[in-house]
Amino acid sequence: NAGVTQTPKFQVLKTGQSMTLQCAQDMNHEYMSWYRQDPGMGLRLIHYSVGAGITDQGEVPNGYNVSRSTTEDFPLRLLSAAPSQTSVYFCASSYSRGQGSGNTIYFGEGSWLTVV
């Protein structure tokens, strides 16, 4: 049982490049989300999904795209990277609220992204 797996762990991009942060979970969770963590700002929600084919914006969605074609995967795409997107990115998953299990939310280990 791998839990929530994020790849890559570290990445350096040049301004304007595109890339995809991968996130996969093997717990059959319906809910998945992406957060970014910046110094002094805690974690902020970028996008989330409550099931395959369903996505929605969080607090800071600009510059990011997501899709949810399968229950297991929730990739985060940066179409044209900017220095302001230098951050640590965390993927999270859980059962959907109301489905019991205490709504425990599982986080990946993070992806460190630097845009130069």
Partner 1 sequence: AQSVTQPDIHITVSEGASLELRCNYSYGATPYLFWYVQSPGQGLQLLLKYFSGDTLVQGIKGFEAEFKRSQSSFNLRKPSVHWSDAAEYFCAVGIDQTGANNLFFGTGTRLTVIP
38 to each of 1, 88, 91, 95, how far by Cα in Å? 29, 7, 15, 26
Is residue 48 within the footprint of partner 1 (CB under 8 A)? yes
Matching residue, tokens 């940066």: 78
- Contacting residue, 1, 2, 98, 100, with partner 1 by CB under 8 A: 98
CB of 62 to partner 1, least distance (A): 17
CB of 71 to partner 1, least distance (A): 13
Is residue 100 within the footprint of partner 1 (CB under 8 A)? no
- Contacting residue, 27, 44, 60, 86, with partner 1 by CB under 8 A: 44
CA–CA distance, 97 with 104 (Å, rounded to integer): 10
User: Do 6 and 108 touch, CB atoms closer than 8 A?
Assistant: yes
